[in-house]
Structure 1
Amino acid sequence: MSEAQIEAEQADTTTQTVLDVSDLRAWYGPSRALHDIALSVRTGELVTMLGRNGAGKTTTLRSIVGMVPRRSGSIIINGTQTIGLPSHRIARTGIAFCPEDRGIYASLSAEENLVLPPVVAPGGMSVEDILTLFPGLRDRMKSPGTKLSGGEQQMLAIGRILRTGARLLLLDEPTEGLAPVVVQQIGAAIADLKARGYTILMVEQNVRFASTVADRHYVIDRGQVAETFDNATLLADFDRISARLSA
Structure 2
Amino acid sequence: MSGAGHPGEPGRPGEPGRPGPAGRTAPPVRRRGRPTSAARAAAGEAARDRILASARTEFAERGYDRASIRAIARGADVDPALVHHYFGTKEQVFEAAVEVSFAPAREGLRALPPHTPGTLGGRITRFFLGVWENPVTREPLLALVRSAVNNETAARILRAQVTRELMATVARELDGPDRELRVELAAAQLVGTAILRYVIKAEPLASLDAGELAVRLAPTVQHQLTGPVGERLREG
TM-score category of the 2 structures, normalised to the smaller one: under 0.3
TM-score for the superposition, normalised by structure 2: 0.25
Instruction: Give TM-score, length-normalised by structure 1.
Output: 0.25
Name whichever structure is richer in helix by fraction: 2
Computing the radius of gyration from Cα coordinates, the structure with the larger value is 2
- Flag the structure with more relative contact order, 1 or 2, with Cα contacts below 8 A and sequence separation at least 6: 1
Higher strand share: 1
